[in-house]
Amino acid sequence: MKRTASLALLLASIVGVLLFVWPFVGGNLPGASSTTAIGLGTAAGLVAVEVAARHLDARHLALLAALAAIDAAARAVVVTGIGGFSPIFLLILCGGYIFGARFGFILGATSLLVSALVTGGIGPWLPYQLVAVGWVGALSGLVGRRCRGRPTLKDAMVLAVTGVVAGYGYGAAMDVWNWTFYQSSPSLGFHAGMALSTALDHFGRYYLATSLVYDSFRAVGNVILVIAVGLPVLVALGRLRGRLHTEIEPSTKLGEPAPLGRSATLT
């Protein structure tokens, strides 16, 4: 089931990549209703697989809901932030780092969806945001795969670097959607039927001209948040992970009690 769940995340990411690369293959943009159905359906499908695989039980779902609610509340207070900075990325980065790539993807998508419902930020950009923020959590989960014990300052530093990559990566991904509506400059904007090389050239210059500085605020903001409060959040989530994941350690003799310090209950 773990392999199936990992495959589901891979398929969800492939669907997301197709959404973002569509403008570069010369076609018109898919309709808003189609992309919304694809984005929501992809996230819902991944959740269903995780629940079926028992990776998301009632306790993990409760934690997911709590983290998403906190993120939505933080974004409701600071909707636009300073430049591209938003506090929503902190818990997504920390949650993915501790609980893994699949949980991180779902946490990112869920947090953004709840935030959009709270702030009224529902529009044709939403499915792209769901995927892009989901990738932030998944990236953090992949980076944090070896974090099994108590998080240390080294983990916080690694997460800070991840925050920089995620900040620019999220901005560049979302700029693909923004770019498709940019018509102010024919030498930078998108139009259907563009050759791949032309599209890449236009988008690259569009990003440098309109978004690089904006995304730098997001990347630096992520670093500041992670350095300031990342380690305590990682430690707290690490403790929760220890409580949510218990193992059965078989006895060496029939009827012998489990050794002290180990749980004898099944997750």
pLDDT of residue 172 exceeding 50, the answer is yes
Determine the pLDDT at residue 50: 84
- Give tens-digit pLDDT for 36-75: 787 888 888 888 888 887 778 889 899 999 999 998 888 7
pLDDT of residue 263 exceeding 50, the answer is no
CA distances from 132 to 43, 79, 109, 180 (A): 12, 17, 8, 16
pLDDT of residue 261 exceeding 70, the answer is no
Mean pLDDT for the stretch of residues 251-255: 47
pLDDT of residue 89 exceeding 50, the answer is yes
Number of Cβ atoms within 10 Å of the Cβ of 22: 16
Quickly state the pLDDT bin for 2 (edges 50, 70, 90): low
189 within 8 A of 23, measured Cβ to Cβ: no
Quickly state the pLDDT bin for 87 (edges 50, 70, 90): confident
Residue 243, burial from CB neighbour count under 10 angstroms (0-12, 13-18, 19+): exposed
- Give tens-digit pLDDT for 136-157: 999 999 999 877 788 999 999 9
- Give tens-digit pLDDT for 177-220: 889 888 778 888 888 788 889 999 999 999 998 889 889 999 99
Q: What is the pTM of this model?
A: 0.85
